[in-house]
Structure 1
Amino acid sequence: MSEASVPSYGDAQTWYLAEGYTGGEFDTYVLVQNPGETSAHVTLKFQLPPGHSAPDYEFDLPAGTRSSIQLDGLPGLSNTDVSTKVTSTAPVMVERAMYFNYFGKPGGHDSIGVKYPSTVWYLAEGYTGGQFDTYVLVQNPGETSAHVTLKFQLPPGHSAPDYEFDLPAGTRSSIQLDGLPGLSNTDVSTKVTSTAPVMVERAMYFNYFGKPGGHDSIGVKYPSTVWYLAEGYTGGQFDTYVLVQNPGETSAHVTLKFQLPPGHSAPDYEFDLPAGTRRSVQLDSLPGLSSTDVSTTVESTVSVVAERAMYFEYQGKRGGHVSIGTDFPSTVWYLAEGYTGGQFDTYVLVQNPGQETKHVRFDFQLPPGHSAPPLEFDITGGSRRSVLLDALPGLSSTDVSTKVTASGLVVVERAMYFSYMGRDDGHCSIGSLYEPPIIPDTTKVLGEAELGHLSGAAKSGDGKRLVLTFDADVGALQDVEIGDVIVSGITSKTPYGMLQKVAGVNRAGGQVILETVEASLEEAIWRGHIINYTDLVPA
């Protein structure tokens, strides 16, 4: 297997951060992790409210290091809402952390970035009762104005009208749900649709039984029948909730399965969730879940969306945090944020939802000039483990990003508890995934140089093969062999593109004649992302 660059992908990585604010007692940081072996040149571009702008910020990030950039001190970013687009000449991981005092509620929250905008987003969590304020943040990084619609899923028996607005290109907007019709004093999940690709997050500020703070999360782009939530704790003054949103038109039967520390177990919890509704499940009161670490696997008969929220008092630090679930485990995870100095404690949580023991390794990226040895351990099937980074060699009083690799599929989150300039709270995030596209050497991409010489295309006598005739042996054609897959985009000579497997090659008289059969996408691309935007019109 070999990894090759993809023409449309390039060598750079792009990330979007919808939320950000630098006014009042808000501090906003962008955290960038370079886990690779190549130095990265990183550029931050900013989207401000309509009529405002700020210059780009650029810096170099050496291989195997990380950097924190405080936006508040950059030109043009004083006292403003701000969304950020991060581009890099080498793959990097990006998060954003914010620390604040929101109407007497001190705290902090954090979220990973988003790699690709979308026209549909789902936010399972939301609450507008008591001392909770819920905001939906929408970023339009494109060059076209977007018409955005928010649809709401409330507890069974309740509903609220849609909310619509226009979002100019290159701007962002914050919508407070508490003041919208039908959304007073209620649990609420949100489905966001847009006529142009956008990024969406949700921020909440609260006082939960004397625990003030805030939390934030990106949305997810699609529902799923399976979700994994690595973090969870029900001991002491910790309360853990699993939030499930059913945005569809069919009732869902939902099952929560739990992974506890080795030697412990708890029975499944099942419930029905009507179409177009949402539900909050507090884990603390379920059988077998008193005073324990707990990871959760959410399974459903129809596609739903799941998040997990926690409220706590951790060594005198009161607050709450939240994270989306992930719909698939991975063997590699990245955590851009982490700090062990002062009154910050950083934990990495690993969930093994499978049956087999996995070998796990942590590699750390510190500020330039610093390093720490890796950590390795085994995690048994159906269990979870919490690792406090502060206590590990070389990780005292430092910024730290973490790369987690495992011998099999696991789920990884990071939780932090802190006192930041007198603002006590905690924040949590799912890890980021970076899976570079893999195109095997047997895939040959034909561009204009090769297709310009395509002189004929005809079915073979038995109709089972497509015979392609080229009047010159140039470019990628020179390396084509039997068994290769040839691909092309849409051109005047290939109006439907091309995805064919070579069954015969004849080079004679300066010509190249290829006998081909249909190929599968899996044969051409071993791993990658496909994004397609289609306008649907009534039949």
Structure 2
Amino acid sequence: MHNVILGSGGGSIHGRITCGANSCGVPISVLVFCDGCSGSSNVTTDVNGNYSSTNVPGGHTYDVHAIGPSGWDNAIYYAKPVSTGSSATVNLSLIPSGASTSGRVIGTISDPSGALYAGCLINVFGGPSGSPIGSFVEGDVTTAADGSFDTGYRLSPGNYIVFIDCPNWPEQKANGGSAMALSAGSTATANFSFPEFGRPFTGGHDAVGIANPGTRAYFAEGYTGFTPSWSFHEQLAISNPGAAQTLTVTYLLASGSPIVKTYALSAQSRFTINVNREVGPLQEVSAVLSAPNPFVAEREMYFRYPTGVDGGHNAVGAQSLGTVFYFAEGYTGPGFDEYLTLMNSSASQTANVQVTYFFNSGAPKTVSHPVNPSSRLTVHVNDAAEAGPNHDVSMKVISDIPILAERPMYFNYAGQTGGHVVVGASAPITSLNLAEGHVGQSFNEYLTILNPNASAANLTITYFLGAGSPVQQLLTVNGNSRATVYVNSVLPAGTDSSVHIDSTQPIVVERPMYFTYNGWTGGHDAMAVPDSALSITLNFAEGYVAANFAQYYTILNKSASAATVTFTFYLPAGAPVTKTITVAANSRWTELVNNDLPAGTYNAAQISSSLAVLAERPEYFSY
């Protein structure tokens, strides 16, 4: 709406407002708006439709708006000049609303992530070309929950510009700011998508396969932010390896009531959910997924972070909640923003959470956080009240009721920008495994190790290579501390590797990697898993092959015999596709899926093996 400010001195505007040729029978509100000055006023007609606006500054032009009663279009006279000390006359005759006399504008407001914008104010101004008289819609049309709007048949024939005012955005114009023609009974469509800055987003993400699909999946992290300078795209990838079924997703927001949606999953298929579209923009969101039969879920996010770094990260949905979570990796130095996201899916209980930070040296630090029922909480680990800046840091999270904890990080590592995320480990263990790893050729690989015990841990790290004999490394990690291994200093440049770690104390290990792949900078991370996670069947929900997406699977076979491994790729439609390979004993294998599926194929995968193996899926992209 225009600001209404009473003018002082100069001239006056008066006239009569009629409905057709007759009096409207009710008082009509008239806004006299100064073009280029503050001398505006809001007056009301008398019973005969007469109005007068006095003491308006002279030497300006004025737009005179008449707000039509129900059943009549608004009318406007554009740019009526008023000289100092003079009186100007503006008479307006309103026309009936309806398809026989007027046109309307409809549309949907969205953004490139797919989010739909509710609560945006839609204003429309215009009229016949060359005429000072037109009509308008202002202040009473807003977008619905699905982003749609409809002015109704309230705009007299002419050419109109559609103005869009959404929270957190400057005013926008539909149709590139060009006028749209309306005639009696016509409908003009003015769909609008906000511009996005900084595409493409480049980087990579990684996931460790899970042995068994489940009937529930949980995600603590999620964000659908979208602004003029940064944005987040969030998706859920679902693998349904069995019969057709219905999936239910409950989206838990940082504020507001949960949103519940259902989705039909075809048999033996891959399905994608656009979370931005489901919950709308600027939502911090966790998710609980459930179905009658087992499925696998992953959450991929692509973004331009507010500091300007772009990239993506991925997580496999946790199949259960817990009361204890461990994170080995963490850094709060320059160029790194570390977060902890906590999901409490209880509808009635507050979760009382204790976060303990472990450093390379010095005593641990514990901070308490309550998490409200059916909500999600975000902790910025860099804050002084948390771990604070400039620390290598690991974490232990304890809650008095079951929750889920994830740790997203956003970084600029020597010009390699992106983000990575992991779900916390439920317990330290003594035998740990990771299938992916590469050093050199613009790849920097680390192992970050948390020893939460009072006693030192003695580690034997075995690197299984793509070719050649395994390589071993010995390491001691002090009690209640965090240690870092730079794998590039252990293995020759250009080496593909998987890793197995044996420890004398239960520990937690992660493998962050920072890289430039095909000119795309980024990073990814994975939590090391126990020997029990190696399996003859492993499952993944996400996958995409294209010129701008390179999808790999890396296989660790630490058995003394070769393993026969079959990939079954589930597609959005059509029969699954299979590929069989042989992975040599005590070795690591790399499979480029772009060689197995046509470009443009979304896919999920189930891996079957003659021996227990571990698989990861690194993916590199320009999104």
- Coarse TM-score class (shorter-chain normalised): 0.7 to 0.9
Q: Secondary structure at the match of 1:72?
A: helix
**Is 2:401 aligned against 1:199?**
no
The answer on 1:99 being equivalent to 2:305 is: no
Output the CA distance in 1 between the equivalents of 2:559 and 2:362: 38
TM-superposed CA distance for 1:212, in Å, is 0.7
Shift of 1:266: 4.8
| Cα distance in structure 1, aligned partners of 2:410 and 2:620 | 17
Q: Which residue of 1 aligns with 2:225?
A: 23
Q: 3-state DSSP class of the match of 1:390?
A: helix
- Match 1:364 to one of 563, 569, 574: 569
Indicate whether 1:385 and 2:611 are aligned: no
2:530 to 319, 327, 347: 327
> Quick one: distance in 2 between partners of 1:29 and 1:146?
27
Bigger Rg, which one: 2
Aligned equivalent of 1:63, options 255, 260, 267 = 267
Distance 1:188 1:283, change over 3 A: same
Q: SS of the residue aligned with 2:594?
A: helix
Counterpart of 1:33 in structure 2 is 239
- Aligned residue for 2:304, secondary structure, equals strand
Per the normalisation by structure 2, the TM-score is 0.63
1:408 maps to what in 2? 611
Question: Where does residue 58 of structure 2 map in the other structure?
Answer: none
Corresponding residue for 1:170?
374
Q: Note if 1:187 corresponds to 2:392.
A: yes
Q: CA deviation at 1:71?
A: 0.8
What corresponds to 1:72 in structure 2?
Answer: 276
Structure 1 residue 255: Cα displacement? 1.4
Please say if residues 447 and 510 of structure 2, whose CA atoms lie closer than 8 Å, have aligned partners that are also in contact. Answer: yes
- SS of 2:512 mapped into structure 1: strand
Q: CA deviation at 1:160?
A: 4.4
Q: Find the partner of 1:219 among 411, 420, 424.
A: 424
Question: Are 1:44 and 2:249 counterparts?
Answer: yes
- Report the Cα offset of residue 355 of structure 1: 1.4
Q: 1:137 aligns with which of 322, 341, 351?
A: 341
Q: What is the CA–CA distance in structure 1 between the aligned matches of 2:258 and 2:458, rounded to whole Å?
A: 49
Cα 1:12–1:410, aligned 2, differ >3 Å: closer, same or farther? closer
Contact 1:54/1:77 (8 A) holds in 2: no
1:274-326 C-alpha deviation (Å, 9 max, x unpaired): 1110111011111x443210101111001001110111000000010001111
CA distance in 2, matches of 1:265, 1:374: 30
Pair 1:255-2:460 in alignment = yes
Tell me if the contact between 2:441 and 2:493 (Cα under 8 Å) persists in the aligned partners: no
Q: CA deviation at 1:62?
A: 1.1
Is 1:292 the counterpart of 2:498 in the alignment? Answer: no
User: Contact conserved, 1:389 with 1:395, CA < 8 A, in 2?
Assistant: no
Which residue is equivalent to 2:99? none
Residue 110 (structure 1) aligned with residue 314 (structure 2):
yes
In the TM superposition, what whole-angstrom CA distance separates every residue of 1:437-457 from its partner, at most 9, and x where no partner exists? xxxxxxxxxxxxxxxxxxxxx
| Superposition RMSD in Å | 1.4
**Following TM superposition, by how much is the alpha carbon of 1:77 offset from its aligned partner in structure 2, in angstroms?**
3.2
Picking from 535, 542, 559, the partner of 1:337 is 542
**In the alignment, what sits opposite 1:13?**
215
Residue 236 and residue 12 in structure 1: after superposition, are their counterparts in 2 closer, same or farther (change >3 A)?
Answer: closer
Q: Which moved more, 1:190-199 or 1:52-61?
A: 52-61
Q: Equivalent residue for 2:471?
A: 267
TM-fit CA distance, 1:124: 0.9
Q: Which residue in 1 is equivalent to 2:132?
A: none
CA contact (8 A) 2:470 2:586 kept: no
Partner of 1:515: none
Partners in 1 of 2:241 and 2:275 — Cα distance? 23
Please say if 1:283 is aligned against 2:510. no
Q: CA deviation at 1:12?
A: 7.2
1:114-137: per-residue Cα shift (whole Å, max 9, x none)? 111000000111100120011011
Q: Is the 8 A contact 2:221 2:285 kept in 1?
A: yes
The letter for the 2-side match of 1:235 is G
Contact 2:258 2:374 in 1 (8 A): no
Structure 1 residue ranges without an equivalent (≥5): 1-10, 421-539
Q: Output the CA distance in 2 between the equivalents of 1:42 and 1:352.
A: 34
Residues 460, 503 of structure 2: 8 Å contact kept: yes
- CA contact under 8 A between 2:547 and 2:599: conserved in structure 1? no
Matched, 1:127 2:331: yes
- In structure 1, the partner of 2:105 is none
Alpha-carbon shift at residue 66 of structure 1 (Å)? 0.7
Q: TM-score, normalised by structure 1?
A: 0.73
Q: What amino acid does structure 1 have at the position aligned with 2:216?
A: T
SS in 2 for 1:235: coil
Q: 1:234 aligns with which of 439, 442, 446?
A: 439
Deviation digits for residues 487-508 of structure 1 (CA, Å, limit 9, x no counterpart)? xxxxxxxxxxxxxxxxxxxxxx
AA of the residue aligned to 1:257: T
- Give the 3-state SS of the residue equivalent to 2:526 in structure 1: strand
Percent of paired sites with the same residue? 32
Distance 1:239 1:55 in 2: 40
